[in-house]
Amino acid sequence: MIDEIAKAGSGIKGPSAYQIGNEYLDEEFEELEKYLGDIYDKFSTFGCTLMCDGWSTRTKHPIINFMVYCDRHMIYHSSVDCTNIKKTAEYIFKLMDEVVEVVGEKNVVQVVTDSESSMKAAGQLLMKKRKNLFWSPCAAHCIDLMLEDIGKMDNVKETIAQGKKITSFIYNSDKVVNLMKTYTKRRELLRPDEWAEFNNTTKRKAEAIKVAELILSEKFWKKVRNVCAIMEPLVKVLKTIDQDNKPTLPIIYEAMDRAKMAIQKSVKSWKTIWEVIDNRWYNQLHRDLHAAGNLKYYIQFKYVIYIFIYLFSNFVILLYLAYFLNPILQYSGTCEFNLDEVRRGLRTSLQSWSQI
């Protein structure tokens, strides 16, 4: 805006307070209404995801926000102030149910919340009443918990603690920081704010010796490589799904499979890591909707799909239908889905939507 004003040169007259607060505000309101209307019109074609997010304001007021995601667009729906209200499963379910009613049950593919117990219970109550939609935990939150669980394992925990010791020591000395940047091409190291500072000179000398021993230790770097091999595939999944520019529901299943296979190929103790991942995946994150793929986004073809399944229900082609519903995976040539899971997930999803 400032650049455009500068281009106009001197003598330009700015809008009055009245114009900003009335005329231009009305124009912006009309433009926003049209923008939202265009998105609402897509609900019946593409379906939408309803997101329920609890948080606290700076003044410690608990708030529950409701957002709607449809066709790569995220819009705000409503907020509820929960001050002095116990956030039970029944209360959250009531709020969710009211929003679903406003948006339209036939338009809602899934409701996404975090994995907190009351949210999870509320989601189950909602699915019991609204049989055509699904409740899903937040995938990003669940993967965060996977990483946290892995970080608690003894060998990983020890390596992370040693890495923190090195980083903490470096950032408590300008001279060491400058030396580090000459080798990292001025890139910073990530570091939480809560790491302790070393102000005592004697203590710093002792720490310097320990840090030097760590940095020069091949055993330490071997453990670092092992931790990276465990964490990086999951972080890649987290980066992939934690975005708004494209739907991530169709790729969660495949992304998690790829992450697990990457860990298996590069980590000797992969079975232990898989157990930690599967504990969160099967008990919290995995849903039949993930296995079915991007079905709701192709709902305009639902009648063709129903006929197709009816005619070929006893053939293995049914098992691959989930691939075809996600073009990215269909043409990749590298899919390694568990076919039983895909079949079960696909059938569950179709049974749900056949009642719409």
- Say if residues 150 and 273 touch (Cβ distance below 8 Å): yes
Q: Which residue has the higher pLDDT, 255 or 34?
A: 34
Segment 74-99, tens digit of pLDDT: 888 888 888 888 888 899 899 989 98
> Percent of the chain beyond pLDDT 70?
69
Range in 134-148, 172-186, 212-226, 295-309 the model is least confident about: 295-309
C-alpha–C-alpha distance, residues 75 and 43, integer Å: 12
Q: How confident is the model at residue 324 (pLDDT cuts 50, 70, 90)?
A: very low
CA distances from 347 to 112, 299, 305, 318, 322 (A): 21, 15, 11, 10, 10
Q: Return the CA Rg of the chain.
A: 26
DSSP string, 315-328: SGGGGGHHHHTSHH
Give the integer Cα–Cα distance in Å for 319 and 19: 61
Return all residues near 166 (Cβ < 8 A) that are at least 6 apart.
211, 214, 215
pLDDT digits (tens, 9 = 90+) for 116-173: 888 888 888 988 888 878 887 777 888 888 899 999 998 899 988 888 888 888 888 7
% of the chain residues with pLDDT over 90: 3
End-to-end CA distance of the chain: 47
**What's the chain's average pLDDT?**
74
Domain boundaries, the chain: 45-137, 143-147+229-353, 150-226
The answer to whether 296 and 46 have CB atoms below 8 angstroms apart is yes
Q: What is the pLDDT of residue 245?
A: 59
> Is residue 47 pLDDT above 50, yes or no?
yes
Write down the pLDDT at residue 310: 45
- Would the pLDDT of 9 be above 60? yes
In the CATH scheme, what is the code of domain 45-137?
Answer: 3.30.420.10
Name the band, by pLDDT with cuts 50, 70 and 90, for residue 106: confident
Across 316-321, average pLDDT: 38
Mean pLDDT of 20-36: 84
pLDDT at 331: 46
